[in-house]
């Protein structure tokens, strides 16, 4: 990934440990002053809380007054094992369960309990985010997927009521089709698919990740604000 100019942080990063079903997951929490909501990141296969793309998106959200939690979906030991077997990174149900546990941690946290909750998922992490959103319909207010595989959420798509923004690169043709089909199955009718011009799967082209981050910030600002706008019909841009 090419080096991008990081935005000035609106808050301070804090290392945290999240208890999740008997295991400890490492994370980075940032809560800007006056935060209007918090976004939990579900990274893609083989990635971690240190993902440079997700950290860039997180910095854009923080500048917009949105708190962020980047965390590892696997423990250190699981991560080492997965580097060899590559099994756990595709265990979408396990990853979704870990995201639900992290959400419970946020709900009970002293600095986060009053914040509206959203999810940002990349690649396979998008499927985990959608499954977790389906399991927590009263808690999760919005979801954004970047270059995601929402199709891997299967039948759970029909139970996702949180407004969902699907962001896909114009040159990521197979994934565009998967996202179009998934959009039609989502229960939230104000969901939307946006195709970013010139972008491939990893959004490595100049300006494409910045555009994805801008779209995500706008989506969360709208849906995590105290007074959300009226729902609109499902559409593709």
The answer to whether the predicted template modeling score (pTM) of the entire model surpasses 0.85 is yes
Full set of structural domains in the chain with CATH:
13-226 (3.40.50.1820)
- Measure the CA dihedral 9/14/15/18, to 10°: -110
| pLDDT exceeds cutoff 50 at 228 | no
- Residue 184's nearest CA partner among 233, 230, 220 is 233
Q: Which residue has the higher pLDDT, 20 or 214?
A: 214
Q: What pLDDT shows up at residue 48?
A: 74
Cα angle 187-213-170, degrees, rounded to a multiple of 5 = 75
| pLDDT exceeds cutoff 80 at 173 | yes
Helix axes 208-223, 52-63, angle to 10 degrees: 50
For 125-168, how does the pLDDT look when each residue is reduced to its tens digit (9 = 90+)? 999 999 999 999 999 999 999 999 999 999 999 999 999 999 99
SS3 168: strand
Mean pLDDT in residue range 70-99? 77
| pLDDT exceeds cutoff 50 at 231 | no
Q: CA 143: distance to chain centroid? A: 6
Cα 85 to Cα 165: distance, rounded to the nearest angstrom: 32
């Amino acid at each position: 990934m090419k080096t991008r100019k990081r935005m000035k942080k609106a808050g301070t990063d804090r290392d945290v440990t999240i208890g999740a079903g008997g295991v400890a997951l490492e994370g980075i929490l940032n809560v800007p002053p006056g935060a209007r909501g918090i976004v939990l990141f579900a990274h893609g296969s083989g990635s971690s809380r240190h993902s440079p793309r997700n950290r860039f998106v997180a910095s854009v959200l923080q500048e917009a007054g949105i708190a962020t939690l980047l965390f590892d979906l696997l423990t250190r030991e699981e991560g080492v094992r997965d580097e060899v077997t590559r099994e756990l990174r595709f265990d979408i149900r396990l990853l979704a369960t870990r995201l639900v546990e992290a959400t419970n941690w946020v709900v009970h946290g002293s600095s986060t309990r009053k914040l509206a909750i959203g999810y940002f998922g990349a690649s396979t992490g998008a499927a985990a985010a959608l499954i977790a959103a389906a399991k927590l319909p009263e808690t999760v207010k919005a979801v954004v997927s970047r270059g995601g595989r929402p199709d891997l959420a299967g039948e759970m798509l029909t139970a996702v009521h949180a407004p969902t923004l699907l962001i896909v690169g114009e040159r990521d043709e197979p994934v565009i089709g998967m996202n179009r089909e998934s959009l039609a199955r989502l229960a939230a009718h104000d969901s939307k698919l946006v195709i970013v011009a010139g972008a491939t799967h990893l959004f490595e082209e100049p300006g494409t990740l910045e555009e994805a981050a801008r779209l995500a910030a706008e989506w969360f600002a709208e849906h995590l604000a105290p007074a959300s706008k009226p729902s609109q019909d499902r559409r593709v841009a």
